[in-house]
Amino acid sequence: MANERQARMADRIRVLVAERLEKGLRDPRLGFVTITDVRVTGDLQHASVFYTVYGSDEERADTAAALKAATGMIRSDVGKQLGVRLTPSLEFIPDALPETAGHIADLLREAQERDAAVAGLAAGAAYAGDADPYIKPREDDDEA
């Protein structure tokens, strides 16, 4: 029961925060932000809001500062629309999803290059021993 309630509240908080950011915060430091996930603690008192920012490292840092400055205002907006007795505190955490995806793409590309190199070596390879490595009875044994 508590897990369903956590999931519903997390989903609702994600929607409300995204709508609030879409309306704008009047902060020029805020960049192009996408809310990727929200996780709520079991007692529904704290919500971790994960976000990504499209842009450079400087834009990411500016956006983090803008979100930190606007946390109270966003929390009060969420509390008004959420309709619960206690509004959870919000913590904005930059999501490492794009960096992780880039790293995984690099690893997959490297694995593909290595597979191609191995396939190239295997194309011109020959067996180290006989073509038929199985022991066969000698012809001398058949005559005896």
pLDDT in tens, 40-91: 998 889 999 998 888 788 888 888 888 888 888 888 888 888 888 888 999 9
pTM above 0.75?
Answer: no
pLDDT exceeds 60 at position 94: yes
Angle at the Cα of 11 (from 8 to 15), degrees rounded to 5? 135
pLDDT band at 1 (very low <50, low <70, confident <90, very high): very low
> Of all residues in the chain, what percent carry a pLDDT higher than 90?
16
Q: Average the pLDDT over 107-119 and give the result.
A: 91
Nearest Cα to Cα of residue 69 among 38, 34, 30, 95? 30
Reported in sequence order, the residue ranges of the chain that DSSP labels E, i.e. its strands, are: 32-40, 46-54, 89-94
Chosen CATH of 2-96 out of 3.30.300.20, 3.30.360.10, 3.40.720.10, 3.40.1000.10: 3.30.300.20
pLDDT tens sequence across 121-131: 888 777 777 76
pLDDT band at 142 (very low <50, low <70, confident <90, very high): low
Distance CA 16, CA 12 (A): 6
Q: Spell out the domain ranges in the chain.
A: 2-96
Q: Which of 114 and 21 is assigned the larger pLDDT?
A: 114
